[in-house]
Amino acid sequence: MNFRAGGGPGDSAGRVAVMAAVALTILGWGFAFIPLKWLTNSAYTDHPLSPGTFLLLRFVPLLPFILLYAARRWRCETPPMRARLRGDWPAIAAMGLLVIPGYHFPLNFALQTPLHTGLTSLILNLSPALTYFLAVAIGQERALRARTAGVLTAFGGVMAIFGEEMVREWRGGAPIHFSWEGVGLMLLSTFAWTLYTLIARRLAPRHDSRFVFMTSQAIGTLVLLASAPLLAGSRFFTECARLDALDWAAWAYVSIFSSFIAYWVWVAALARFEASRLASTGNLVPLLVHGAAALFLEGERTALTPFYLACAAATLIGTALVLRRPRAASGVS
């Protein structure tokens, strides 16, 4: 995955390769919530992993490879890049803390609540709107009329679905797979992912993107490892011993593909694309998640109401507006 930024004749082909990898990443994330629930939610397994155990199991086994590859990518940092590292180390460390404990720890607790799988991904899908408005506020991007309209349209679709859930509760009916605790936890994860994306957008073009990714992952995972006694303690090995072959296949999917490889692609893509445009591709994840939940998790099929589907369509329209290139294209996409 050599997604280096550049400006030569081959750069267009490189951009196509990056977006193809991002498309596969989005597809993978769309199905990731199914194995996540199978591993952590007692409604789908009789041996759920605790949030701390799952967090350790998801990241720590890959740490030796990450450290070795980070050391190798250090050689790809040119002297100007290494000079910039003196000021960028805190931001690289922040990336690791945001994406591993900051994003995943609240997510692991949210997965154990009754919150609907698709709604979980929809809350996370607030990130494109947060990313765009924060990027404009800090001067990382400029406001564009069509992009603003697209972000607001997609955001409106998500909020309308929340409104439907709240109306059900206010009317005294039993909400379908809803949890305010799960919502709060997912909002924490969403904010952490947004900050991670904005920081990575600043750092990836300034350095070798693979070095930035590997080093930030190593820092976050080392902090996780140091916290292992508090996160899981001796129950880590007891819980892991109960996993069967299907559970380990689910672990491989969420740990190797939807975490390690997908985050690698994400940081590499941020070397070439504005944070808001890349983040907007995440609008497709909830639609894939809901389709997968309806297919594999029978108890969640009733949440796919006509109103919900209409809001999902609004999200798609908004995403198309954000992804559309400005007419007067600048050097940054």
Q: Domain for residue 254, yes or no?
A: yes
Q: Domain for residue 142, yes or no?
A: yes
Rounded CA-CA distance 320/46 in Å is: 42
Per the structure block, which two tokens stand in for 57? 């199991």
Q: Domain for residue 330, yes or no?
A: no
Q: How many residues in the chain?
A: 333
- Tens-place pLDDT, residues 40-61: 988 889 999 999 999 999 999 9
Q: Domain for residue 328, yes or no?
A: no
> What pLDDT sits at residue 113?
86
**Domains of the chain: total:** 1
> Is the Cα dihedral 201, 202, 207, 212 positive or negative?
negative
Q: Are 114 and 178 in contact (CB under 8 A)?
A: yes
Rounded CA-CA distance 13/19 in Å is: 10
Domain with 89 in it: 11-323
Residue 204 is given by DSSP the state G
The angle formed by the CA atoms of residues 103, 3 and 281, to the nearest 5 degrees, is 50
Share of the chain above pLDDT 70, in %: 83
Higher local confidence (pLDDT), 331 or 245: 245
Q: Domain for residue 3, yes or no?
A: no
Is pLDDT above 60 for 331?
no
Rounded CA-CA distance 82/90 in Å is: 14
Q: Domain for residue 99, yes or no?
A: yes
> What pLDDT sits at residue 177?
66
Q: Domain for residue 332, yes or no?
A: no
Burial class (CB in 10 A: 0-12, 13-18, 19+), 148: middle
Contacts of 16 (CB under 8 A, 6+ apart): none
Per the structure block, which two tokens stand in for 9? 């004749």
Contacts of 13 (CB under 8 A, 6+ apart): none
Q: Domain for residue 5, yes or no?
A: no
Q: Are 59 and 221 in contact (CB under 8 A)?
A: yes
